[in-house]
Structure 1
Amino acid sequence: MRYFELICTAYMKKELAFERSFEQISKYISFSMAQSDLADFHKKDGYKYYVFGGFLPIEKDKIYKTGNTYKFTLRSLDEHFIDTLAKALRANINNSDFLVVQTTKKIIKQFFISELYSATPVIVTTENGKFWTMQENGNILQLQKQLHDNLEKKYNSFFKEKLQVEQNFIQLLEIKNRVPQNIRIEKDSHKIIFFGNKFKIIPNEDEVSQKLAFTALACGLGEKNSYGGGFLLGRGMRL
């Protein structure tokens, strides 16, 4: 297994607040896809197999400044997607907020993952349509099951093979936030808030669990990955 990563350097055309940044990156990616050979893929329902993180570095006042450059990372299991999108991102010159001026591609081979950390909120929707939070739900076993099931479906869908699962890929899950975190977007003139959480996860060591942990790094943990939800950092042993 391997995933593909784009380090994108963006030039700010005007000031952009942190709370609007995920929406603007998501729109930039979506528009770039729609104007490229990825247009049909963009329109399809189902998993997109990519995730992105926010702009770095984060300014102290959480306002990205006009004239400065910031980087964000985009990952996918699909190399064709990454290669095509890299060109499309740089061609999207009419965006009013920022311009991607450089993309650098990296290939990350599967490695043994000892810990996962969520850099952006991990979003999970419960059966009643609400977002999972400790305050609203508090059922950790349900949370772990939904996180596992979502990853298993992503893996099966992309690789066209069914994993022989014997246990949840999560050995230990620690919630790192006291109150729910959020990602804010506007869609069809309606303001939407996705609530999520920041986690530290220790995956199990078996082969299947490690494949799912790597899938989480590659295309995001939980839901709303195309809005920046569930972008992870991993720690482990690289061969």
Structure 2
Amino acid sequence: MIKFEPKEHIKYSDIDKYTIQGFIYSLLKNDESFSEYHNTFGFKFFNFSNIFPVSDFEKNSLKKLIISSPNDDLIKSMYTQLKNRSSFRLKNYKMELLKVEILRNKKCSKFISSTPIVLYENNVDNRYYSFKQNPDFNFFFKRLKDNAIKKYNAFYGTDFELDSELFTNFEFGREVSIRLVKNNNKFIVIGSLWKDLEFDLTSQNKDFYNFLFDNGLGEKNSLGFGFLNCRK
């Protein structure tokens, strides 16, 4: 978790997901183990929350950001880069760094999505799954489970299979559309927010669900989508 204070008024929308992703890569480039992480092919095993509270940046007002990853070395690398700093920049905006700390996972059997979960319905034509277009929970959770297992096995080099459903109970929140801008090109990402994603935690699957908690659910985790919190 990074706690910081802006040094000027900034609109919340001026610090977007690409800004935060770029900040993370800028921290990693100073570590030779991760200096080329941005250019590596395949999954990028990290995720991040929205900056919160979700409101405009006011001078000297407290803001927080959580960055997560199943890769402990990656988290420690960012912590090392930040712990002795007094400030950093998001875009060209200066932020005073108040505190950086490593958080430990909480044991839980319910997730809540803090940022939208994104899935491709068809990744060939770059079409995102939309409940408004195709309200099929079976399709969504099957695709979500396949995606989660694929990433878990890619990270650990295993052939893990989950015999049960990914979640035993769920409560849908709403579908959202997020506008992103990259290199002056605007595009829309469609995702969904969930109030409750419940699962049976066992000794056989605890590492898998810990991975999901650290890495996030769905596509585009390294852009801050699918970030999870525990729900009590």
TM-score range, shorter chain: 0.7 to 0.9
Q: Which residue of 1 aligns with 2:189?
A: 194
Normalising by structure 1, report the TM-score.
0.82
Counterpart check, 1:145 vs 2:142: yes
Q: Is the 8 A contact 2:7 2:96 kept in 1?
A: no
Q: Residue deviations 1:13-62, cap 9 Å, x none?
A: 4333333434222221122223443221221021222111112223xxx3
Q: CA deviation at 1:138?
A: 1.2
Q: CA deviation at 1:94?
A: 4.9
* In 2, Cα distance between equivalents of 1:17 and 1:35: 29
Q: Which residue of 2 aligns with 1:3?
A: none
* In 2, Cα distance between equivalents of 1:53 and 1:215: 16
Normalising by structure 2, report the TM-score.
0.84
Distance 1:164 1:223, change over 3 A: closer
* In 2, Cα distance between equivalents of 1:212 and 1:148: 11
Counterpart check, 1:34 vs 2:29: yes
- Amino acid paired to 2:213: L
* In 1, Cα distance between equivalents of 2:2 and 2:192: 25
For this pair of structures, how many residues does the alignment match?
223
Q: CA deviation at 1:79?
A: 1.2
Q: Which residue of 1 aligns with 2:111?
A: 116
* In 1, Cα distance between equivalents of 2:203 and 2:23: 36
* In 2, Cα distance between equivalents of 1:131 and 1:70: 31
Distance 1:51 1:89, change over 3 A: same
Q: Is the 8 A contact 1:169 1:213 kept in 2?
A: no
- Amino acid paired to 1:64: F
Q: Residue deviations 1:187-210, cap 9 Å, x none?
A: 122123322111121123455554
Equivalent of 2:126 in 121, 129, 137: 129
Distance 1:30 1:171, change over 3 A: same
- Amino acid paired to 1:234: C
Q: CA deviation at 1:173?
A: 2.5
Q: Is the 8 A contact 1:203 1:210 kept in 2?
A: no
* In 2, Cα distance between equivalents of 1:85 and 1:133: 35
Distance 1:192 1:66, change over 3 A: farther
SS at match of 2:115: coil
* In 2, Cα distance between equivalents of 1:192 and 1:31: 24
Distance 1:22 1:210, change over 3 A: farther
- Amino acid paired to 2:43: Y
Distance 1:88 1:99, change over 3 A: farther
Q: Residue deviations 1:176-224, cap 9 Å, x none?
A: 12xx224433212212332211112112345555443322211111111
Q: Which residue of 2 aligns with 1:73?
A: 66
What are the residue-to-residue correspondences of 1:49-88 with 2, within 5 Å? 49-58=45-54, 62-88=55-81
Q: Which residue of 1 aligns with 2:214?
A: 218
Q: Is the 8 A contact 2:116 2:191 kept in 1?
A: yes
Report the identity percentage. Answer: 21
* In 2, Cα distance between equivalents of 1:100 and 1:136: 44
* In 2, Cα distance between equivalents of 1:32 and 1:224: 19
SS at match of 2:141: helix
Q: Which residue of 2 aligns with 1:11?
A: 5
